[in-house]
Chains A and B, each alone.
Chain A
Amino acid sequence: MDRRYDLVMALLTFALGVFVFAVAKAIPMGFYKDAVGPRAFFLGIGVVLMVVGAVVGMQRLRSWKAQKGHMIPPEGETDEEGHPVSALMAASIIGISILYVILLRPLGYLLTTPLYITGGMAILKERRWGWIALFAVGFTVLFYIAFAQILNMSIPVGPFTTLFRNLGWIIL
C-alpha cells in the first residue's frame, strides 16, 4: 500500500467530515422540537470522520521518516498473486459501465446490453468471440424475457418501443 495515497485518503476523510459537519449545521430544526433533532446524527458523523481523518493522517506523517520507500504493509484488499494487474482495466470497466447506464434509456436494453457485454469481455481480454456473442445475446434475451415479459417490468427498449407496442409486448 502506497502511504502517499493513504495520506490522501485520510485527508479526504477529514475533508468529508468538515463538509458533513458544516452542512449539518445548516439543517433547519423543524416545527416539532425533539430531544435529538435532525442534525445530531450528522454532526456526530462529521466529528467521527474528522477525528479519524486527522488521526490516520497524523500517524502516516509521524512515521514518514521511519521508512525509506513509500510502500507500507497493506491494510486493505490485496491483488491476487500471479495475475497481471492493470488499474486501467478497472477504470475502463467503470467507464463502460457508466456509458451503458447512460445509453440504457435512449438506445434501450436490447441494444446496449450485448454491446456492454462484448465491450466488457474484450476489456477483460477474453478473445473467444463465438462464446462472447453467445453470452451477450443469450444473457440479453433471457433477462429481457424474465424481467420485461414475465415479471412485467418496464424495461426501456429504445428504438423498438413502437414496434413492441404494436406487437402488444409492451402495454404502456
Chain B
Amino acid sequence: MNEFVQPMLGGLHILANPMIWVYITIGTIIGVIVGALPGIGTTQAYGLCLPFTFMMTPVNAISLLMGITVGNQFGNSIPAILIGLPGSPSAILTVIEGHTMQKRGEGGLALGVTFVASLGAQFVSILFFILLVVPLMQAAYIFMQPEQFAIYLFGLVAISSITGKNVLKGLASAAFGVGIGLVGLDPVNLIPRFDFGFRAVRSGFETTAVMIGLLAVSELFRSARQSFQWHPATGVEAASTTRFPPWRKWKRTLPFMMFGTVVGTLLGAVPGAGGTAPTMVSYQWAQFFSKKPEEFGHGSIDGIAANEAAQNASNCGELIPTLALGIPSSGSMVFLLGALTVHGFIPGPMLIRQAPHLFNATIAGLLGSTVLLAITGWYMCSLMLKAVSINRQSVIIFALATVVIGVYSTNLKVFDVFVALAAGAIGYFMMGYGYSCAAAALGVILGSGLERNLRHGLNITDGSFLKLLARPITGITVALCLVVLGYGVYRQIQLRKKLAKMAEKTN
C-alpha cells in the first residue's frame, strides 16, 4: 500500500507548485492540437518539445511530456467524431460509431461520451498505473510472441461485429485489408512480397495512409456526391447540440467505460500490443453485453465508451513496460523513453527507489493534465463542434486538405498521399456495395502483427502449433477467441432476424 500512497502524495506535492501547471498546460495544449491533426502523432510532438526541455528542470520537463501524452489521446478523438478523420489507428472505432452519430446530428452526445470515457479512463488508469507498475513489470516476461499472437487474433475477431449487412462481403473486406497490411517484407526472411519491383512499397504501405484513406477519404468522397448545406438530422438547432449531454442519456455506458479502462490498462502494459488491440477487444465485449447491440456500427454510445476508455487507459498501460522495464511498446514510447533518460530517469525495476522524484513527476504530469482537460476539454469540444456545424462543403474540403498535409507529414512522401487517395477511391466503391471499409481498415492494422507474432511465436515453439497452443495464456485466449467468434456469429444471426421482423412489422 505504501508503494501506492507515497508516489501519489509525491505527485500531489509537485502539483502544489503553481509553476508546474504552466508546463502541464503547455504540454496538454500541444498534445491536443497534435492529436487532432491526422498523421502527426506524439512522436513529432516530443520531437518538437524535446530541445526546449533541456532548458527545464527534469521534473518540469517530465510533467510537460506527460501533458503531451494525455492531451494527444484526448485530441485524437475530436476530429474522428466531427469529420471522420482518425488521428491514429486506435481511433478507427470512434470514427465508425462517433462520426455516424455526428452525421445524425448527435455529435454532442458522441463527444460527451468521449469526454467522460477518455478522462475517466485516464484518471482511473493513472491509479492502476501507480498500483500495478511493480507487479505488471513481470508481464513482459509472460507475454511473448505466442501470447501476442493470441491478442491480435482476439482483435481480429472484433471484425465479426462490423462486417455490415452482408457477412461474406465483410469477410472479403477483412481479407483484402489483411492482404494490404502484409505487403512488404516478410517478417522472417525479409523477402519482399507484392512490391512488383517498386521501391516505394518494398517496406509495405504506410498504415496510417491506408487507414485514413479507407475510413476518412472514402467517406469524404462519398459526401462529395451530394449537394447540401449542413442540417442536423434531428432538426435541432446546431447550437443546442453543443450542450453537455444529460446524465440519463449516457449513464448506461458506465459499465463499458469501466471495462474498457481495465482492458486498456492491462493489455496496454503488454509490450507490442499497442493501443489498437485493447480497443478492439474492449469494443467486441461491449457489443456482447450491450442492451442495444444492433446499434454497433451505426452509432453506438456503448461502443464509443468502451473504445475511448480502452484507448486512453492503454496510454498509462504502455507507460508500464516503458518506464518499469525500459521496453518501449510503440514508436512514441521509444521517443519518450529517450527523452526521460536524458533527464536522468532510470528505467527499470529500481525506478521508484533510484529516482522517486521523477516517478512522482510522471504521476503529477498525468494527473495534472487530466484535471486540466476535465475543466477545459468540453469547452474545446463544443467550440470545434460549432466550427464544423457551419458549412458542410467547407468541412469536406477542409478535411481533404488536412488529410493531404497530414499524410504527407507522416514520412514526407507524396507517394503516401497517393496511397491515401487510392484507398479512398477504392473505399468509395466498397461503401456503395456493402464491402465494409472498417473491416478492411482493421485488417490492415492487425494483419501484419498477427502474421509476425504467429511466425516468430512458432520459432520459439520449434515450429509446433501444438506447443504454441499449449502455452496457457495463448491456449486460453485462442479458445476464448473461438467462443467469442461463435457467440458473435450467433448474436449476429439473432440480430438480423430481429431486424427483419421489425422491418416486416413496419411494412
Binding site for B on A (CB under 8 A): 1, 5-6, 9, 13, 16, 20, 23-24, 27-32, 34-36, 38, 41-42, 44-45, 48-49, 52-53, 55-56, 74-77, 79-80, 82-87, 89-90, 93-94, 97-98, 100-101, 104-105, 109, 113, 116-117, 120-121, 123-126, 131, 135, 139, 143, 146-147, 150-155
Contacts and interface: CB of A to CB of B under 8 A. Distances in A.
B433 A31 contact: no
Contact of A48 (B37, B175, B398, B435): B175
Nearest to B432: A76
B470 interface: no
B6 interface: no
A76 B458 contact: no
Contacts of A84: 226-227
Contacts of A97: 400, 404, 421
B179 interface: yes
A75 B48 contact: no
B401 A38 contact: no
Contacts of B228: 80, 82-83
B463 A35 contact: yes
Contacts of B22: none
B404 A9 contact: no
B227 A125 contact: yes
Contacts of A147: 405, 409
Interface in B163-182: 164-166, 168-169, 171-172, 175-176, 178-179, 182
Nearest to B181: A41
B288 interface: no
Given A97-B400, A151-B48, A80 B226 contact: yes
Interface of B: 37, 40, 44, 48, 164-166, 168-169, 171-172, 175-176, 178-179, 182, 186, 188-189, 191, 193-194, 220-222, 224-228, 391, 393-394, 396-398, 400-402, 404-405, 408-409, 412, 414, 417-418, 421, 424-425, 428-435, 447, 451, 454-455, 458-459, 463-465
14 contacts: A24-B193, A36-B451, A41-B179, A41-B451, A49-B175, A49-B176, A52-B175, A75-B165, A76-B433, A90-B224, A101-B414, A120-B400, A151-B48, A151-B409
Contacts of B428: 90, 94
A78 B222 CA distance: 10
A124 B164 contact: no
Contacts of A131: 391, 394
B421 A126 contact: no
Nearest to A78: B432
A32 B425 contact: no
A53 to B, nearest CB: 7
Given A27-B191, A30-B189, A41-B182, A75 B166 contact: yes
A34 B409 contact: no
A43 to B, nearest CB: 11
B35 to A, nearest CB: 13
Contacts of A83: 226-228
A101 B429 CA distance: 21
Nearest to A5: B433
Given A9-B429, A52-B171, A76-B435, A89 B405 contact: no
A133 B225 CA distance: 23
**Which 7 A/B pairs are nearest by Cβ-Cβ distance?**
A30-B189, A75-B434, A35-B463, A52-B172, A83-B228, A38-B186, A76-B434
A153 B459 CA distance: 41
A121 B397 contact: yes
Given A85-B226, A101-B421, A124-B397, A34 B188 contact: yes
Contact of A34 (B394, B398, B430, B458): B458
A45 B179 contact: yes
Contact of A86 (B193, B227, B402, B432): B227
A139 B48 CA distance: 22
Contacts of A31: 189
A153 B409 contact: yes
A139 B414 contact: no
Given A41-B179, A124-B224, A135-B394, 5 more contacts: A42-B193, A42-B194, A75-B166, A83-B228, A120-B400
Contacts of A155: 405, 408-409
Contacts of A42: 179, 182, 193-194
A146 to B, nearest CB: 8
Contacts of A74: 434
Contacts of A146: 37
Nearest to B503: A73
B421 A89 contact: no
Nearest to A128: B391
B190 to A, nearest CB: 8
A121 B393 contact: yes
Contact of A101 (B398, B404, B464): B404
